[in-house]
Structures are given as structure tokens and as C-alpha cells.
Structure 1
């Protein structure tokens, strides 16, 4: 079908097989014509939700392929299922209820679109595509803590949240029987779908920004140099990417592969997931790199060889505006869930000093130095770069300005974050005051590729930005 940016309320005719609904519910529906077929979303107050749209399909350990166009309207009313994954008790302890009501499915290549409810028919706004984190083994695009409602409604942007394969299903791969980088290939397929389709939802395909945190930020850095990605997005926001541990992983990957062997394509999914701790144990002896055992693999589609990666990043730098940074005390949150470290930090007299030094050293090694080098290379190659550092320390927590601390300022809202340990005793009005300004900075970058000189006024204790000219 031809693209039509016109959102229209559904007709009174029912699609064969569709449940009969009353007039009020039909009035809350919006229909969009896309190259894949007609998509039906729902008005949810000041936004429209278009949930769980398939962007690709694949069997187990297969590369993603385009979804065949559908002939009947697709009723996009349900959140995208998560990739099957093992429980993450540390994350759940920190963000209670993050995965509540989520279902999982190996066929998780789906995305959700949130757009302002009052977009005009001829209006085109900037698009922000969220790639979630979780060490490449946990999470999902449609977790409640990633709800983009405030970002969309306040800043008048379209936000797309992407779900992709994780862990053994998406980032194991021996390059032979099991292809590597399947989760990254999923993300690439999603970005291509967004580029080719988002105009139908009022998005501007020339102003697509990828933004992601932790493994999501790392994935975005590698999507920048993925084969077939060129021209699909104009800007990248890389938050807390562990760029210091993504190189030099060949021996670790070989050890993981040897420990696990080749997973069966017909095995129950629980059997495949049970191999994940085996792989992670094999990775532990490789130091900090083993802390994120799963990840992208250089030299296997869609990535260049590791020796060629820097040149690839230099080549694309002039084409992609970059906003990159991290928090002050990234690794404090990981130390919190390590009993041996907690015993060490509890030692009288020296415990606090040991904690401070260890968090400083590991944060710089995994996040700060590599992130700064990434920005410097991008700038030297002719790209526009803005760097940032989140310094906000929520009250009533022991984490400080730690990993994921910035997320409540961008996504999720009070209902998702207000009761969590991460927020502690911080008054939500204070979170919202900071969050509104941070969302403005992120959205302005998505619109213009720059951060205005006065954009962080009033955020001195939250966000520090370096706008050095390229």
C-alpha cells in the first residue's frame, strides 16, 4: 500500500474474525497505511500506542528476514513479547516489577511506536528509536520502565522501542552452525523497517536518532558500522556503553563456544537457556570482559574485522551526529549485588576507601576512557560530537550517580520508577523537574544534532555537557 501519514479513526465495519467492539472503542482507534499493510493502534490519552508490530521474522539461529505484507489490518494492541531469558535477580531487586506482566517468545522481532495523538496529517516530527540494555541477556523494548509517553507528549517526537533476541538466542553464535550477531541483525532489520515505514506514522525519516543505554548504547555504536546501515539514521545517542570491554574478546568467545558446544535447533528453549550460565562461567577468567560475556562479534556479519573497526567509524563519522557519555559512578550498581565486594566494602576503616577506589578504577576502565576515545575519534574524523556526564545522585540510595540512574529522567514515569530502590527517597516532583529538562536536551538533539549552549541551565547537579566544536 502507499504510505499515508493521515491517521484516521477506524470505520464502523468490522474485519472478519475481529471481535465486535462498541463505538467508543472504535473512536479511540487510529489506522495507518504502511508498505507492510494497514496497522491499527489505540489512542491513549495524549499519545497513540501502536504495539508489537513485527519488523522481521526468523527461526531459531536464523538471520532475520522481512515479514511478508499482511492483507488484513494488523491490530497492534499488545506489547512486544520479550526474548526468552533467565531471571535477573539483581535487576529485579533494583527495579522492582520491571518485568511485570511481560510474556516471552522466541519470535520477538517486534517494535512499538508511540506518537503524539494530535499530529496533523501533514506533520513530520523527529524519530527516536530506543535500543534497550541488559548486558545482551536481559530486558525488552516494552518494559514499563521504558514507557516513552512523557518524552513523546512533551517533546512532540515519535518514539520506537525495539525488542530483539538476547543471550544464547541472539548473541552466542560460533559463526558456523549458529550465526553470530543475530540480535544485532535483528536491530538492523528494525532500524531499516523504521526508516522505510515511519513516515506513515508522522515521523521524519531523515531525522531518525538511535538512543540506547548500556548494551543498547554499545549496540548503537556498532550499528554505526554495520553493513547495510548507512543512511538509515542520522544521529546516535550512546548512553553508558561498556566500550572498554568490547575489544579483544576472541579467546573468550572461543572458550564459551568450547564450553557449550553447538546448541540444538530443535531443543526446548529452556534447554538452550540453561547453557547460558555455562558460557558465562567459561568467560569469568577473562576479567572485566567476562562481566559481559555475551556481545557483538567483529568479523562476522554485519560487522567488519576488529582491526578495521576504527577506520569504519572514521568513515561514517561525518554522516552521524553523536551524543555520547556516561554516569559518574557507573559500576557502583554492580558492586551492590556482589556479596564478596560488599564484605570487602564493610571492612572497618578501609572499606569505604576501597569501595571508592574500586568503583572509580572500574568505571574509568569500562566506560569513561573508551567513551572519550570514541568521541575524540569521531570528532577528529569530521563528525559532530557532544559529550555528557550524568552526576545526579538520588536521595536515600547507596548507588550514587550509577549505571541506569539517568533512565528515570528519560523514560518510564512515576508508576514505573517511583517505588524502586534506584530512586530511594527522592521526591518524585524533583525527579520530574530534572527529567523534563533532560528530555528536552535529548529531543532537541534528535531534532537538530546539537545541544544548545543554554540547554542544561538548571541542571548543574544532574547533567554536565561538553559542546566543544568539531
Structure 2
């Protein structure tokens, strides 16, 4: 007799039938569905290949293996040597009759292009699915496997994995009740950077209609810079910086070598800014996959057919400082060195002294760093997109909590549990500064609704950026408000400062 607990959790894909978890409160989670073949052996360092099909129902009740990395994140599985089937995705869908095709939100996790996975608890798609969105998230190659430069092989393999996952969505999501013609790509940090790249990549054209980019980073390598980083890693691994040499090193050896090179960046960076934030992997600009950086491409109108929603937090880099991810800066001399490494004019760093009178050097450093990498870059990305004929919306996360002995800042990643409706997820308390209160839950409902509405119809509920105006939705407690960037002192300070690629 058929087990009725599984009713409504089986779906047929082009590769074969899949069985997800039994419905919980009307939502089915189908986890660990392969969208491409394992990218190892003869497929290593190559573009993703089609997955081999199956006949009987495939058990899809657990997340798939994560890509090679050394990170261990709260509530998420780590990488285990020998795990090869790392190109999988997950689907959350509300099973109710007569819904009709539902909008699809395709989530790309962040992690400095080096770590992370779709299994992180704050990325659970249940709450969004209850709001009427089919949620898809994917694992993709990170670190050297996904973004290391290998002579004779394609750059940006992690981005190509995401394109393959989007093609899976186009071919299969109708079986889950989703609308393949109404897909929104969404991501945070490196995931937002990936979304920005996908907006301007020819390989992804036509696969989605909208993009949500939370904390989209300014970080793109020239081919020369990527090759220099790979040469350092190859030398640390004891192999030649050639295709054959790098293939001879195991994934674990390249993960270990990358970690060691990153540790030495404070004293010996590949590109100057790595002395302050040792991110070794970035999308590589130049070549067939990403010929032009997203900001320049957006300004030229390459992505005008994609609706865009951008968000950043007000104090991005305070999080990276809290977790020890960036170098400490405490003197004016160090701040001047940082501005030089960042490639911005000295007067810009001086301007933060006027913006933050009486603030210590560390606070000015973190404010400048956060605006350079996330705040100003994301705001300008939205403006360039709008001025080239696209539709764009801009928002900022400003929710702050002050408690005895601790201040929960509006820092990097704090916005994600709010938008997903996962304030009680494992690890969320650290991001948001403790257990959520009712004002937090109300803010989460507003942010989740904005995502769902944008995915459905392209309108999150506030005015868009235009050629002449930049209205900004400011997420806050107890209430949100609308700001005008025309009167922003921070934005005025940055006017005319260019954004360039990371070069040697």
C-alpha cells in the first residue's frame, strides 16, 4: 500500500522522478536534486556537463554535498573529501490546488566565492514558499574549483554552474508548479555578485526576468590578476601553474594551498587590497564568459531587460571585523595606506573624517571599506541600470538593536534572515543580536513580502530609481521610511569616484 505521508512530494523531472520530504504545513522541500554531472575526473575544471538520468524515484530528502572548501558554518554540512556530486539544487513549493504557475525565486548563496552552501539554515525557503513563491537554491563550485584561473580551461566555472542550474529551472520547474517564464535570480554578497554577472552574461540571457542583489560586492579580477593568484596557489601546492599541473593537485591540496596563500596576504598580497581583506577568488573579467564587468555593462544597457532590486546594509564591514575577516586599522597612517590599496583618492578618506566627526580611525576605516565594496557600488549599480533604460529599486537595511554590553549593528548578512523569514534559524541570533522581538518579526514580514511581490510582478512596493532621482527604501524598526539619495552626504562624497577592476 502506498505510504500516504509522501503524497504530494513526488515530481517528475527531465532526468527522472524525485521524491522530497513529506509536506509540512503545506510546503514540500525537495533537496539535493542533481542538475549537472559531478565536476571531477575528466570533467574537472570544465564547464558543467549534463547529469545522467535515472528511472526509479530518487530520494531527495537531504541536501547534497557541498563543494570543496575548508569552512565550517553553523547548521550546515562541511565538505568531505571524496564527495563529488556537488552540483545539486533544492526546491521548496507550496502544494495547494489551483494556484496556477507560481513565480520562481532562484537563490545563490554567498561566501566570498570561496565557501558556503545552499544548506545554511537561514536560506531555508519554507516561509517564502508559503508566501506563494517557488524557491530554488543551488550549490556551485567555489574556491579554486569554481573560480581559480587554470590555463586552457574556462574561467568563472562557478558562474557556469549557476547557468546550468537556471537551465534546469527552465526545463523542469513547471513540474513543481513554477512559471519558467517568471524567474527571479537572488543572492547575497558573492551570490549577489554572481547575480550581477548573470545579468550581463550571454549564456544566461533569457533564463530569468528579475534580479535581487543584497550586498553586491565590487570585486572583479583581470585575467592577469587571477593568473597571478593561481600561480601563488600552485607554488604552495607544489605543482606547475599549468592545466596539467593544477589537475595533478587534489581538491583538498588546492583548498589547503589557497588557505595558506590567503593567510600570507596581509604581508604579501597578490593585489594590494588583499592586504586588508584576503579574498583570493573573484569573477574574472575578460574572455567569453564575462567579457565586461557588470557595472560597465549595466551602464551600457546590457541588462536593461532585467528588473533589479538592490539592497545593502548600513555598516557592512563591521561584521567582517567582528569575525576577524579584515585587517585591523587604528592609525591615520594605516588609513592612508588602506586608501591607497583601495585605489581611491586621499580626499575621499579625509571626507569620512568630516562625515564621522570624533569617530575613531577604525570606525572611519570600516565605513569607507563598506561603502567602497558594497554600499556605493550597489547604489551605483542600480543607478546605472536605471539610467540605461532598466527598472531598478534600491533599499538599505538600517535595523539596529542596542542591548546591555552589545550593539547589534546593521551589518553584512544581518538582512538575510529577515528577508527569508528565518529569524529563528540556527546561527541567526548572532547575525541579528539575539532572539527576535515582535518589531523584528514585523520587519521580517515586510521584507519577505517585498521579495515575493518583486518576484511576482517586479514591484517591491516603493518608487523605482530613475534617471533623475534615487529614492531608497530604508528597512528599520519600528518603521521603515523612504530616503532621497540626492541629499545624502555619503553619496555626494563618492560622486565622480570610479570603480575599476582589481589589477596587479
2: CA distance, partners of 1:456 / 1:329: 16
The answer as to 2:119 corresponding to 1:142 is yes
1:63 aligned to which of 16, 34, 47: 47
2:12 aligned to which of 26, 33, 38: 33
2:433 aligned to which of 417, 424, 428: 424
Shift of 1:252: 3.0
Question: Within 5 Å, which residues of 2 pair with 1:192-231?
Answer: 192-231=167-206
2: CA distance, partners of 1:102 / 1:269: 11
Aligned to 2:226: 253
2:410 aligned to which of 401, 404, 411: 401
Structure 1 contact 145–411 (Cα < 8 Å) conserved: yes
1:379 aligned to which of 371, 376, 386: 386
User: Residue 340 and residue 48 in structure 1: after superposition, are their counterparts in 2 closer, same or farther (change >3 A)?
Assistant: closer
Aligned to 1:80: 64
Aligned to 2:340: none
2: CA distance, partners of 1:337 / 1:460: 25
Shift of 1:171: 0.9
Shift of 1:313: 6.1
2:296 aligned to which of 305, 310, 317: 310
Q: TM-score by structure 2 length?
A: 0.77
Structure 1 portions without partners, runs of 5+ = 1-10, 13-22
The answer as to 2:285 corresponding to 1:298 is yes
Question: Within 5 Å, which residues of 2 pair with 1:10-159?
Answer: 12=2, 23-27=3-7, 30-46=9-25, 47-57=27-37, 58-59=39-40, 60-87=44-71, 92=73, 97-99=74-76, 105-120=83-98, 123-153=100-130, 155-159=131-135
Shift of 1:80: 1.9
SS of 2:17's equivalent in the other structure is strand
Question: Within 5 Å, which residues of 2 pair with 1:355-394?
Answer: 355-394=362-401
1:265 aligned to which of 247, 251, 266: 247
Structure 2 contact 171–180 (Cα < 8 Å) conserved: yes
Aligned to 1:334: 320
Q: How many residue pairs are counted as aligned between the two chains? A: 430
2: CA distance, partners of 1:363 / 1:140: 24
Q: TM-score by structure 1 length?
A: 0.83
Structure 1 contact 127–205 (Cα < 8 Å) conserved: yes
Structure 2 contact 105–135 (Cα < 8 Å) conserved: yes
2: CA distance, partners of 1:367 / 1:42: 37
Structure 1 contact 333–399 (Cα < 8 Å) conserved: no
SS of 2:175's equivalent in the other structure is helix
Structure 2 contact 9–19 (Cα < 8 Å) conserved: yes
Shift of 1:257: 2.0
Structure 2 contact 76–120 (Cα < 8 Å) conserved: yes
Structure 2 portions without partners, runs of 5+ = 235-240, 332-356, 464-471, 486-504
1:325 aligned to which of 303, 311, 324: 311
Shift of 1:456: 6.9
Shift of 1:273: 1.2
Query: Which stretch shifts more, 280-289 or 322-331?
Result: 280-289
Query: Which stretch shifts more, 101-110 or 370-379?
Result: 101-110
Shift of 1:103: 6.0
Structure 2 contact 183–208 (Cα < 8 Å) conserved: yes
2: CA distance, partners of 1:399 / 1:458: 15
Shift of 1:278: 4.1
Structure 2 contact 398–475 (Cα < 8 Å) conserved: no
Structure 2 contact 108–187 (Cα < 8 Å) conserved: yes
Query: Which stretch shifts more, 218-227 or 32-41?
Result: 32-41
